[in-house]
Amino acid sequence: MAGYVVNDAFIKLAAESLPLFESIFIRGCFITAWMLIVSSARGELRGAREHLDRSLGLRVLMESIGTALYLSALTRVPLAGLTAVLQIVPLIVTFAAARLLREAVSWRRVTSVLAGFAGVMVIIRPASDDFNPWFLVGFLVVIAIVVREIATTSISTEIPSVIVSLTTAITITSMGLLGIVFEDWQVPDTRELTLLLAASLFLAVGYIASVITIRVGDISFSAPFRYTILVFAIALQIVVFNDVPDALTFVGAGIITAAGLYSLRSQATLA
């Protein structure tokens, strides 16, 4: 989660002066290079074509759609606010896991997820006059993420996690290249390239860590950990963008954090 949100902050800064899809493409070139280096060093590129299947294809498709929608909204709304909208993912993932994957979901997990969702509502306040319609795009991103997570659990365990991440990186880079057709190319300066390079490093960490986590354990257990991204997002909004959230945002973040800690404690107790 830290890898994802730090990446978001860097690309949001870069997209202030560079076209969005150009930023996605340049960052994608960097992250694809990192993944190729790691995959090559681990000897996992051999027979990579044999690893392609429908589940992997569905995952990268949802990742691409979600990325395009998310970054489009991110350039128009505060980082912490949009991140808060995405925190309904654990709620939907938990119930999707129970319905579709037949995972055992205890009432403690359900309670913690619902409490976290209540915290999100405190933050975004959909009925207020300050509500930005672009936040609604976040709900489309949520759908893409949930389908992506379900697809990830169906990917063969014989496929290395780095290969899954590499395939995703290549697909999103290709999407950025196609989007450039509708934009005017601008030559990036040193600052912009540095921001996108840093974004690619943190996104690589997020990709690999999330794929490994989803494939190792029940996604209904890992879902509450997503709430931690909001804490990182608020901190970055203050430090990087010099924008201090209001009191209700901190109250909502406190509720979300408490819900996540309760979920972890209850799981440890059951174990």
Angle, helices 2-14/228-239, rounded to nearest 10 degrees: 30
Q: Compute the average pLDDT of residues 8-27.
A: 92
Q: Copy the structure tokens of residue 6.
A: 């730090």
Express each pLDDT in 143-183 by its tens digit: 898 888 888 877 877 777 778 888 888 888 998 898 888 88
| 62 close to 147: Cβ distance less than 8 angstroms | yes
Provide the CB-side half-sphere exposure for 72 (13 A, CA).
15
Domain parsing of the chain, residue ranges = 2-270
pTM of the predicted model over 0.85? no
In DSSP notation, 194-245 reads HHHHHHHHHHHHHHHHHHHHHHHS-HHHHGGGGGHHHHHHHHHHHHTT----
Query: Helix (H, G, I), strand (E, B), or coil: what is residue 187?
Result: coil
Tell me the pLDDT band of 79, cut-offs 50, 70 and 90: confident
pLDDT higher than threshold 80 for residue 44 = no
State how far the Cα of 234 lies from the Cα of 247, in Å rounded to an integer.
12
pLDDT higher than threshold 80 for residue 214 = no
* Surface-to-core class of residue 83, CB atoms within 10 Å of its CB (0-12 exposed, 13-18 middle, 19+ buried): buried
pLDDT of residue 200: 94
Tell me the pLDDT band of 189, cut-offs 50, 70 and 90: very high
Q: Compute the average pLDDT of residues 238-255.
A: 84
Average pLDDT of the chain, as a whole number: 82
Where is pLDDT greater, at 264 or 212? Answer: 212
Residues 6+ apart with CB under 8 A from 165: 35, 204, 207, 208, 211
